[in-house]
Amino acid sequence: MVHYHEGDGLNSSYTYGLSQDEDGFIYVGSDNGFFRFDGTEFKQFGSKNGLKNIEILNSFSIPGNGMFIISFLNDFAYLKKGKIINSDRNPELKKIKFNYTTLSHINGNTLYLYEGDNPKNILVYKNEKITTIPLFLNQGTSDSYFAFDLNMANGLLYISNKDKKKNIEVYNIFTRKKTICNISIEKNAMVTRKGDFFIVKNGRTIDVYKVYHESRFKKIASYTASENIHRLAFDKNSRIWACLENGGVLYFKNSFTEEKGLSDPVRLMDGYIINDVFADKDNNLWFSTRNNGLFFISDLFFRNYIHFPVKNNSSHIKAITKNGNRIYLGYNEGKGGIYHNGVITDIHLGGNSQMENKAIFSDGNTIIFGLTRNPLLYNTKTGEKRVLQGKVIKNMVPYTSGSVLFCTLEGLIAYNYHTKSYKKLMMGDRIYTALPYNKDSIFAGTFKDLYKLNAATQKKKLFLEGYYFTDIKKLSQNLYAGATNLNGIILFNNSRIIKKITESDGLPTRQIKRIEIENEKVFWVSTNYSLSRIEFKDKKLKINNFTHIDGLPSNVVSGCVISGDTVYAGTSKGLGILSIKNLLSQQESVRKKVIINSVKIGNNYFFDLDKPLAGKTPDNNLTFNVSFPDFASQGKISYRYKIEGLSEDWQSGSSPNITFNSIPPGDYTFKIFGLGYNGRKSYASTDLHFEIKPAFWQTWWFKLLLVLIGATALSMLIAFYFQKKRNKKLETLYYEKKIAELELQAIKAQINPHFIYNCLNSIHFLLYKKDYSEAENYLNTFSVMIRKTLHYSEKTFMPIKEEAEYLSLYLNMEKLRLKDLFDYKISVSENVNESWTVPSLLIQPFVENAIKHGVANLQGRKGNIEVLFQHTGTSLCVIIEDNGTGIGKNNHSKADSFGVKLSEKRIETFRQLFATNIILEITDLQEKEKRPGTQITLYITPYENQNTGMHH
């Protein structure tokens, strides 16, 4: 039995009428509003939800899948699509003005309401409209009536006199005629009609009548209780529940439609004042109470336990065994029991009643109850009881013929109940379980280890360390199953552990109490959480867990025995007797579907899911609120779901609120299954179609517009690119022209009249001295110099090797002309490839500047010029250094020479035309290194350009 109260969300302890709608939800009236229960959570409807009166007496299902709500004196309302409709939202409800109990009758899709005390009219509720049928019960008389049944199929209203004992009358609302029936009832009697039967409650007496021809009654059953009955309830199987004024309820097992009379009732729910009893669509039972909330009993539990024909079956069973067709029980007190032919016979064991049974052994007429201290031997034939030697018993195991093993705190002891003798086998250890596995060998388990014991030599050997075994059974030849206190089930043979079975395999816990063998492939284990059946099938493990939901009196199972198709389970609330076949043939699916209560799209809630459901980006987050009213699962509910069109992968969860974020535009179907107790699935999925509409930027026309804009922009970019390329080509042509001009200027700069004039004077002077050989040598060098200058002036780039040769020729000429006034040196570093190219005639002007402004006017020392080609790793470095007078602060002629300016213009031209970056640095060595001279440094990047064949 499950108790629901404030802690479960039922925020009221005083509950009234119970009902169920077409979807399977349970509705509870209370003094604090109206509650809907889906098996997992209670949803409360109160004044904030639209109820004008929060004391709700009852409710009932109305056409259109709604619930009509009966409040205490007027202010009626109904629940539709998850919302309370009161008289403000539907003014038709204001027409209902009753001063006494409201009664109802449903015929087809029409609801009829009338007042129990002197009804003046019948209100007809249909399509959310109310019309009135007037009544004229008191016409011409002063009698006061109580109406208790209406049948609109034939227009008959059954009434009784309120003030005195008179016969029941039948009033025809169409003809306004009364017909007197053949039975009379007391003035305070309460009458309820169920089909062709009228049940009359008068104080402590219940009378059942069957009606014939509308007004003729025949009494078929009667029962008088020992105390007052304040209310009658009826379940769907036509069984009577009599709620007692002082608490408890009387349950009549047989239907009141059976003319054999009412059976003696079973008394339940003692201590609780019951206001209503309701059997739902699955025959589960619900009890509303005064000040104690709501109670629930599952159908299986009720059928297997309440209907169990055994009396005195509620004691806490601690041990169970079987002998023939008898089941022996040991309780958590000094008492035992024998179950045979549907009857449990108690055996009082005497002594301290607080001594509980740890185990039971049975053989023939001998039963040994393993009380915690002083085990007791009982002879079933003679009734003789004999207390055995004082032992602190932990377990008892069959041993040899006529003997049993006592597992005690002192050790392992064999007791022969024929000879009444004891034999100590393994002393000094606390023994909790044992199992003989061949003639002289015994498994003996302490609270931490398992030993192999040789009974003949009494020598023990450690077998399995670190396992606290509570029970050991033999499955087959050289295969054993051990129940442990912390490690689940251990399967082992004579040499090693074969397998461990724990929660990961499906067990509810690792703490196992007892094992019972069904066959070599199947065994049962008892725990504090369930009774579990373990089967090895096709090399796979299958575990079925059974609890009170399946009919066990309690989930706390101390042990079980198997007899044919029946399993007898000893629990903390008595003996459970269950059919194995019925347990294993439970429905794999539940004849229910998941209910989608509401859908939240963005910040909007939708309750009417019969209408098209649509959202729009960016409000494309969806939350589905769902329920699976499988009450037998007692809250152990989860869900399996997916969105078709978004993903084909199924997801699982236990929350009733299922959220999907950022669903892209499209048409989708939300599919969901409910998963109940033991993984049972709803027989079919619940499907809900919805649409996510695109935002304007996701529409086809917007995407087409973007394509057109993109195409236009691309075409503009392409046009701009080609225009830039044309401009670049024009610019290149411009620079080529400028290069040609600069090359001409370079030629002029290289072959200037002053240089030629000096050379000719030098030749003339040599001829004058008649030094013809020197004059000829000078003239040859001069001619070569002139030819190379003209040749390289037509080139854009020239190799480093040729540049070095040209500079050497030029320096030789100047050295001859200036009478060895200076020395020079041209060096090419090893890491420089002489085939690399440099802009032609770029270096010569700087060398000329070094001679003219650096070393030509030196006094008292010889000049020196050095040209060095180096590679810095990223660029080619050309250094021209002299030891002349330097630039100085007032002497800018060297830095500002015409040749240098011309070279700077050529550097800029090469940068723009050939992407050749040339950096020029001029350094006064006097300022930097405190020595005379000037240093010119050229950094050329890239120092080898493949696109340099323009003038080749």
DSSP structure string for 242-296: EEETTS-EEE-SS-TTSTT-PPPPEEE-TT--EEEEEE-TT--EEEEESSS-EEE
pLDDT on residue 948: 41
pLDDT on residue 946: 45
Distance CA 669, CA 691 (A): 9
Query: Phi, psi (5° rounding) for residue 783?
Result: -65, -40
pLDDT on residue 253: 86
Q: What is the pLDDT of residues 166-192, one digit of tens each?
A: 899 999 999 999 999 999 888 888 899
pLDDT on residue 686: 94
Contacting residues for 305 by C-beta, under 8 A, at least 6 apart: 551, 552, 553, 574, 576
Greater model confidence, 335 or 857: 335
Question: What value does the mean pLDDT of the chain take?
Answer: 87
For residues 221-244, give the mean pLDDT. Answer: 91
pTM for this one? 0.67
Contacting residues for 114 by C-beta, under 8 A, at least 6 apart: 102, 103, 104, 105, 121, 122, 123, 135, 147, 150, 157
Contacting residues for 126 by C-beta, under 8 A, at least 6 apart: 63, 109, 110, 111
For residues 427-441, give the mean pLDDT. Answer: 93
pLDDT on residue 17: 93
The widest CA-to-CA distance across the chain, in whole angstroms, is 176
State how far the alpha carbon of 856 is from the alpha carbons of 754, 819, 821, 822, 859, in Å.
15, 11, 7, 8, 9
For residues 497-512, give the mean pLDDT. Answer: 94
Instruction: Tell me: pLDDT of 762 over 60.
Output: yes
Rounded (5°) CA angle 424-428-430: 95
pLDDT on residue 616: 82
Rounded (5°) CA angle 777-781-786: 150
Greater model confidence, 908 or 593: 593
**What confidence tier does 527 reach under pLDDT thresholds 50, 70, 90?**
very high
**What confidence tier does 677 reach under pLDDT thresholds 50, 70, 90?**
confident
pLDDT on residue 753: 57
pLDDT on residue 731: 80
Instruction: Tell me: pLDDT of 565 over 80.
Output: yes
Query: Phi, psi (5° rounding) for residue 211?
Result: -100, 140
Q: In the block, which residue shows the tokens 């509401």? A: 598
Q: What is the pLDDT of residues 463-473, one digit of tens each?
A: 999 999 999 99
CA 703, 707, 712, 716 dihedral sign is positive
pLDDT on residue 102: 86
pLDDT on residue 352: 62
Greater model confidence, 391 or 834: 834
Lowest mean pLDDT among 315-319, 356-360, 502-506, 549-553: 549-553
Q: Give percent above pLDDT 90 in the chain.
A: 50
Distance CA 949, CA 736 (A): 12
Instruction: Tell me: pLDDT of 310 over 90.
Output: no
Greater model confidence, 248 or 736: 248
Residue 772 in tokens: 């013809």
Half-sphere exposure for 368 (CA within 13 Å, toward CB): 27
Beta strands at 595-601 and 604-606: parallel, antiparallel or unpaired: antiparallel
For residues 624-641, give the mean pLDDT. Answer: 91
β-pair partners for 474: 480
Residue type, 422: Y
CB 948 within 8 A of CB 836: no
**What confidence tier does 949 reach under pLDDT thresholds 50, 70, 90?**
very low
Greater model confidence, 655 or 588: 655
Distance CA 108, CA 127 (A): 12
pLDDT on residue 351: 63
For residues 308-312, give the mean pLDDT. Answer: 67
**What confidence tier does 892 reach under pLDDT thresholds 50, 70, 90?**
very low
